[in-house]
């Protein structure tokens, strides 16, 4: 008996030592590999980099964005970030799928995103992440791969918006859409199982047309001088003849009520030049108190403008400048609420001790023209539309204050999110993970592929192109034209050099590179040109 007790004691002691060692090993492993990083992806619509002060553009002192800048200051600004297709739905599909538009099937607005295809959200959800998307979706099918979603139907509305629910119902919420989207995102964060990593996509409608500010921001930019872009009065010479046929000019195509906020019932007998096509859908959604605030601001200003216009005091280029200022004041006021939203999310992460293990990204679906080339939309492969913001904070991984110059594209977001989460992306993605760029020098791509497939919206033709760090080549298949730009000597893209003898070898080189990328990505054939372009 005594010998048996001694043996059992020795065995028990060994077990304690063994399990202690194993336990210590597990605990050490957990200390070395803490919970996988959370991901907060804050995404707006049509936010030009020139309206983000962290990018140092012409508006940085006029319209600062302190909260987006806070991400940049504590992380990195990617200075050469671009979209694959400058239009809302296709850009979102590209981000989810990591593939160019022709491969994910969502080539133009009005297509339906195939929810059965692979997305990074599905992969994160499958690996144990809590996942959510709140706000603008714009993909014509319900979100898949998300534990929770509450999204706007189509483009959504600025005032008193409706949100689609997971049970198929619709819910109208009183207030301003940017504020409401933020509140819903934070409510979801508050509801989470804190033992699991999470991925949140907080997606804003703003500052998409019709550029309708929160009522608290009306008049914010009335007393500041907004600089006029050098190309506001572009004559579209020396480039593709398709440019002159566009329908997105502040001069000829900006709507009086919809865009400039001058309603028909305010005009009396004053005859304003066309167009006036869309009415006042956002004003019509307001309650009495909201309309009172709106009218108190716009009413006297519109009365003054109409009086001066009728007296012939505002005409020609001065009329264009008036519309440009009205446009920019509304656009920048709309951005201001987005920046406040970013601050609310960052403050929430700080207050809940989540900041150290959360990757925060701010981006937008493409760029936008803020009067450059006389325009107010996107679509073209010219820089202001093609370039999109990408600002990231990841403590311990992204050096604060970094200003990265590598050519990145929204096809890269999906594989980046996967590597952040410790997962491997499928081999068939078109993008590549940016994680190596966060901490070290890395071999990276030398060129980007662009494809725009819309069928004449705003009279912008389908076009395709390639961009390197210095040059850009665009092909317009319907008119069989090539445009070549040297961005170092012509950053505003005012003169195509495709016919210049000195650029003959560069033209040949870029045509070859464009063809290489099209073969690599298995792009479909170019559309057939018109018989008489």
For the chain, domain boundaries: 38-212+336-445, 215-228+239-325, 457-520
pLDDT value, residue 531: 63
pLDDT value, residue 194: 86
For residue 251, the surrounding DSSP H or E stretch is none
The size of the chain, in residues, is: 533
For the stretch 36-61, what's the b/e string if a residue is b when 16 or more beta carbons lie within 10 angstroms of its beta carbon?
bbbbbbbbbbbbbbbbbbbbebebbe
pLDDT tens, position by position, 2-11: 344 434 444 4
Residue with tokens 């210049």: 500
- Structure token pair of residue 431: 């993008």
CA–CA dist 402, 410 (Å, integer): 19
What would you report as the CA-atom Rg of the chain, rounded to the nearest whole angstrom? 26
CA–CA dist 359, 348 (Å, integer): 14
Helix axes 88-97 and 413-420, enclosed angle (nearest 10)? 40
pLDDT tens, position by position, 486-506: 999 999 999 999 999 999 999
- Structure token pair of residue 523: 């792009």
pLDDT value, residue 12: 40
pLDDT tens, position by position, 353-372: 999 999 999 999 999 999 99
pLDDT value, residue 441: 66
pLDDT tens, position by position, 30-75: 334 468 999 999 999 999 999 999 999 999 999 999 999 999 999 9
pLDDT value, residue 24: 30
CB 133 within 8 A of CB 201: yes
In Å, how far are 71, 271, 415, 422 from 76, measured between CA atoms? 7, 50, 18, 21
User: Is the link from the previous residue into 207 a cis peptide, with omega within 30 of 0?
Assistant: yes
Strand pairing partners for 164?
Answer: 151, 170
CB 37 within 8 A of CB 357: yes
Helix (H, G, I), strand (E, B) or coil at 253: coil
DSSP assignment of 126-166 equals HTT-EEEEEEE--SSS---S-SEEEEESTT--SBS-EEE-T
Helix (H, G, I), strand (E, B) or coil at 450: strand
Instruction: List, in sequence order, every beta strand (DSSP E) within 442-532.
Output: 448-452, 463-467, 471-476, 481-486
Contacts of 500 (CB under 8 A, 6+ apart): none
pLDDT value, residue 78: 98
- Structure token pair of residue 220: 């914010």
CA–CA dist 335, 206 (Å, integer): 7
CB 386 within 8 A of CB 86: yes
How many CA atoms are closer than 13 Å to the CA of 81, on its beta-carbon side? Answer: 27
pLDDT value, residue 444: 94
Strand pairing partners for 409?
Answer: 82
pLDDT value, residue 529: 83
pLDDT value, residue 25: 29
- Structure token pair of residue 382: 């010219």
pLDDT tens, position by position, 408-420: 999 999 999 999 9
CB 276 within 8 A of CB 261: no
| Torsion (CA) 460, 466, 472, 478 in degrees, nearest 10 | -30
pLDDT value, residue 18: 35
For residue 474, the surrounding DSSP H or E stretch is strand 471-476
Helices (H), 260-316: 281-285, 288-310
Query: Pairing mode, if any, of strands 481-486 and 471-476?
Result: antiparallel
CATH of domain 457-520: 3.30.1120.10
CA–CA dist 351, 349 (Å, integer): 6
pLDDT tens, position by position, 68-105: 999 999 999 999 999 999 999 999 999 999 999 999 99
In Å, how far are 118, 194, 366, 456 from 247, measured between CA atoms? 36, 50, 19, 10
**Average pLDDT, rounded, for the chain:** 93
pTM, two decimals, is 0.93
What CATH number does domain 38-212+336-445 carry, 3.30.70.260, 3.40.720.10, 3.30.70.100, 3.30.930.10?
3.40.720.10
Q: Which regions of the chain are under pLDDT 50?
A: 1-33, 533
């Amino acid at each position: 008996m005594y010998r048996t007790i001694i043996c059992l004691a020795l065995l028990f002691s060994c077990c304690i030592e063994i399990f202690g060692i194993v336990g210590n090993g597990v605990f050490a492993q957990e200390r070395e590999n803490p919970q996988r990083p959370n991901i907060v992806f804050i995404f707006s619509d049509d936010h030009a980099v020139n309206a983000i002060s962290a990018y140092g553009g012409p508006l940085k002192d006029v319209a600062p964005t302190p909260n987006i800048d806070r991400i940049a200051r504590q992380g990195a600004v990617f200075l050469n970030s671009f979209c694959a297709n400058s239009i809302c739905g296709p850009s979102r599909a590209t981000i989810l799928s990591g593939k160019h538009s022709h491969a994910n099937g969502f080539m133009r607005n009005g297509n339906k995103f195939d929810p059965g295809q692979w997305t990074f959200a599905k992969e994160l959800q499958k690996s144990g992440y809590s996942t959510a998307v709140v706000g603008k979706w714009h993909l014509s099918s319900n979100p898949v791969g998300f534990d929770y979603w509450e999204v706007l139907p189509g483009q959504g509305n600025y005032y008193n918006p409706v949100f689609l629910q997971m049970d198929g119902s619709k819910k109208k919420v009183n207030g301003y859409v940017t504020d409401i989207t933020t509140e819903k995102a934070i409510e979801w964060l508050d509801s989470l199982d804190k033992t699991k990593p999470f991925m949140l996509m907080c997606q804003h409608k703003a500052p998409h047309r019709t550029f309708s500010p929160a009522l608290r921001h009306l008049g914010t930019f009335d007393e500041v001088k907004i600089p006029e872009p050098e190309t506001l009065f572009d004559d579209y010479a020396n480039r593709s003849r398709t440019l002159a046929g566009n329908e997105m000019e502040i001069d000829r195509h900006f709507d009086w009520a919809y865009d400039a906020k001058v309603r028909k019932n305010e005009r009396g007998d004053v005859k304003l030049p066309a167009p006036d096509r869309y009415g006042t859908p956002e004003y019509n959604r307001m309650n009495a108190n909201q309309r009172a605030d709106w009218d108190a601001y716009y009413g006297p200003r519109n009365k003054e403008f109409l009086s001066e216009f009728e007296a012939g005091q505002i005409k020609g280029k001065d009329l264009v400048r008036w519309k440009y200022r009205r446009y920019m004041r509304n656009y920048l006021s709309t951005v201001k609420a987005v920046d406040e939203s970013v601050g609310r999310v960052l403050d929430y992460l700080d207050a809940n001790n989540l900041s150290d293990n959360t990757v925060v990204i701010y981006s937008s679906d493409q760029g936008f023209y803020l009067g450059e080339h006389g325009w107010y939309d996107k679509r073209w492969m010219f820089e202001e539309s093609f370039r999109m913001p990408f600002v990231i904070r990841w403590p311990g991984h992204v050096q604060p204050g970094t200003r990265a110059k590598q050519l990145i594209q929204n096809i890269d977001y999906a594989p980046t999110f996967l590597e952040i989460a410790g997962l491997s992306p499928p081999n068939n993605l078109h993008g590549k993970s940016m994680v190596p760029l966060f901490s070290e020098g890395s071999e990276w791509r030398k060129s980007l592929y662009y494809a725009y497939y819309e069928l004449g919206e705003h009279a912008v033709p389908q076009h395709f192109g390639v961009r390197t760090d210095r040059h850009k080549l665009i092909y317009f298949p319907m008119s069989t034209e090539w445009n070549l730009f040297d961005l170092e000597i012509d950053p505003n893209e005012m003169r195509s050099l495709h016919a210049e003898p000195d650029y003959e070898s560069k033209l040949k080189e870029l045509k070859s590179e464009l063809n290489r990328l099209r073969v690599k990505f298995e792009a479909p054939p170019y559309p057939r040109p018109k018989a008489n372009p």
